[in-house]
Structure 1
């Protein structure tokens, strides 16, 4: 696969993930957020399961199967994934697709910030101005209707914390296991099972509601979770990190586009300015460290 082909696949992933916000909103007409999340991630598990089984067999041949501590780690990832997905799903009930897409992306500057706070991982200087920029953009975007954030905006902003924690800790587990599909299917399974058990205790699930939400659930589960994640893993094996960072950030733009075309989302000048500011900060915090590393590498070669 060429670099250009990998970049096109990543663009397709961003398109899928951005369009999934519409499916998540439409699905709420028939089922609750916990039911939607549970069924969505169990469907995603089914898509990745064959790849995970192949990885398990390969690990078995090398006698490198996951240890009990690894299973606990994957389960913890599933809990973080569940909290992020459920909080986001609750927020989508009362906010717009555009707001949900951009506010979810706040996890990008939160990853290095929380990594520095929790793990003492050195943070690039760009984290600080981009974090401030994202806060300013969030204030403009969530306050687009009179500078008073709706409850849904707050739920989605809270979900970005769990997404960030998930990104931080999934990297640590992936470094040891080197089995991305096994990790993905395990965390998807934990997320789906816990969400559905919670739904049985707190939501009213009806056959008519499930039928009504069947198409959005299928799209969000099979296409967004299953195909989207798998394609991302494949494409990032051939794409440059800077390319992947920028292209996947387009998820927020696609969410806004589909919200405009299919859901009738409209933003005033403050909301548009907030979207632009958040997107600029998201791209900057991803490529600034890569650009600095590239300059250092060139300087070492010149010596």
Structure 2
């Protein structure tokens, strides 16, 4: 028999609420990115965004950087590589596949995180977490739309699958090192590594430095500030929030992107609205914490 507990506890912890906040911010950046890449190449803009973020965090945390450790340099560099691969491979894939297919393949990071974590640490997520993962993934599939199922096995699809794996690796690596490093110091390293790798690969991708535009400059600075806050919050919050639970929260990013887009004049298809509902349901279900009373009755908090 199920009863609701009468105790009043916050539904989300402070750290989980912070992750929801940066996910909202993350979703809001897509409109700005869409505008900015019309005036510059994608790798240049990604590089600008993360180097600005890295330089900003150097200024803010310059005193803390004096005590940086080898572990923080290695961990930050590893996360920075996954940031670069996640953005870079997804951008490369979009040159030959549709945005809906890209969205669907990228969404595979949601089930990847718990599966990889299960294989590595041999600790399966609890049943309600699996339910939340399933709901979030179905929601992302609905948001991608019916065109997303027109899959092949070309270089665009392969690159996007690898980008999804990179995103999963980023979340897992942050969770692995979060409790062992100083958040401010590892944030500086991962931002600079991600940005500098983007700049370094521009010649390989045949991308040149764009003509000056206030659009990419202002957008790069603005998103650099946002990226610094997002990565710092991820490194701090995942000290206590598991990678699997964080993944379900991050899955709500396209919901917020859709809301911001709707405010900007875009129309949401009924299937997209249904997908958003599934994702929100997934976040809520994953937060339910069943426990038993002394008389054996099961409560859901």
> 1:55 maps to what in 2?
64
Q: Kindly tell me: are residues 164 and 204 of structure 1, through their superposed partners in 2, closer, same or farther at Cα, counting changes over 3 Å? A: closer
Distance between the aligned counterparts of 1:132 and 1:9, measured in 2?
23
Distance between the aligned counterparts of 2:252 and 2:139, measured in 1?
16
Give the counterpart of 2:41 among 15, 27, 32. 32
> 1:111 maps to what in 2?
113
> 1:192 maps to what in 2?
195
> 1:176 maps to what in 2?
180
SS at match of 1:260: helix
Offset at residue 18 of structure 1 (A): 1.6
Tell me, yes or no, if the aligned pair for 2:90 and 2:159 is still in contact at 8 Å.
yes
Shifted more, 224-233 versus 70-79: the winner is 224-233
Offset at residue 157 of structure 1 (A): 6.4
Tell me, yes or no, if the aligned pair for 2:141 and 2:275 is still in contact at 8 Å.
yes
Q: Kindly tell me: are residues 236 and 148 of structure 1, through their superposed partners in 2, closer, same or farther at Cα, counting changes over 3 Å? A: closer
Offset at residue 147 of structure 1 (A): 5.2
Offset at residue 126 of structure 1 (A): 3.1
Offset at residue 38 of structure 1 (A): 1.0
TM value normalised by structure 2: 0.72
TM value normalised by structure 1: 0.71
Distance between the aligned counterparts of 2:218 and 2:94, measured in 1?
17
Distance between the aligned counterparts of 2:157 and 2:276, measured in 1?
14
Tell me, yes or no, if the aligned pair for 1:78 and 1:188 is still in contact at 8 Å.
yes
Give 1:134-173 correspondences, 5 Å limit.
134-145=136-147, 148=150, 159-173=163-177
SS at match of 1:80: helix
SS at match of 2:219: helix
Q: Kindly tell me: are residues 263 and 183 of structure 1, through their superposed partners in 2, closer, same or farther at Cα, counting changes over 3 Å? A: farther
Shifted more, 192-201 versus 161-170: the winner is 161-170
Give the counterpart of 1:213 among 205, 209, 216. 216
Deviations along 1:39-93, one digit per CA (max 9) or x if unpaired, are: 1111111221134432233xx4xxxx513x5433321111111111223445677
Deviations along 1:222-265, one digit per CA (max 9) or x if unpaired, are: 2x2023444667789999xxx99998765433211122232625
1:83 and 2:85 aligned: yes
Flag structure 2 segments of 5+ consecutive residues without an equivalent. Answer: 1-9, 295-301
Aligned residues between the structures = 276
Shifted more, 252-261 versus 129-138: the winner is 129-138
